Structure 1
């Protein structure tokens, strides 16, 4: 009872060229990559992984890059979307940094230098929320920026730009799903205890691994003071 045969993603191994295509138009010209994409698509349809739907006229597609390196691991990234965000923010040539937020940074609603036009900040932070779909490493920083979206200040905008500087140097980062010998479910959690200077509430976060693959994550501000 309760035992079932796992679904196979691909039923055969395809010898792919060592040079990875940069985009779909290049891959479709290579017979091996074209066959690999067709096999993967057929497996997704056969296993009812998802259903296709028509794109509404007033909606845009959020770009995602899925690379099947082998039958052992699958990589998801949003490098194209991040490049677009950097271009819109006029930071395409910015210098990359190694952390999404400064250590010990304290953001508050009491900063006196309010933005003259807060819509730019709201658009930027709204775009960064989409990046968290494949970038759990920025979930905490994006959640922190969202806490000031109703009344952003210059220091909040500087923190948002710093996050873009971090993304500039990590555009290839994403989610890696790998084959695991043991499917153990492991959860990690943490909180920045009472770090909010305005109400002393904490921002907590968690991540869940199934085997070696990260399958769920979140970062949110607690509603009460613990």
Structure 2
């Protein structure tokens, strides 16, 4: 028979998260614990993956602002999965050849690559 120490606490991994409404701005999002956790997760992932370096701003450059995008992620059956917050650059004010050159950021999911490879092998 096993006994739990009185200092150990049982952790419930099946907590029910209620679906919070989409916030209109980051200030409102920070007041909701669900959205704050989503924002913290995004920020920590960016730091952990070393996605940026803090550098001094050169005097002759325009700063690109960042914005938060808030979404409800859903499972394949359409049920609510989690709150998702993304921090993205807002390039709306950029001017080509002044603030940036040509940019391209390919994003491909592994399932897409497998599908294309499977189709190409079946046609060969």
TM-score by length of 2: 0.42
Does 1 or 2 have the higher relative contact order (CA < 8 Å, sep 6+)? 2
TM-score by length of 1: 0.27
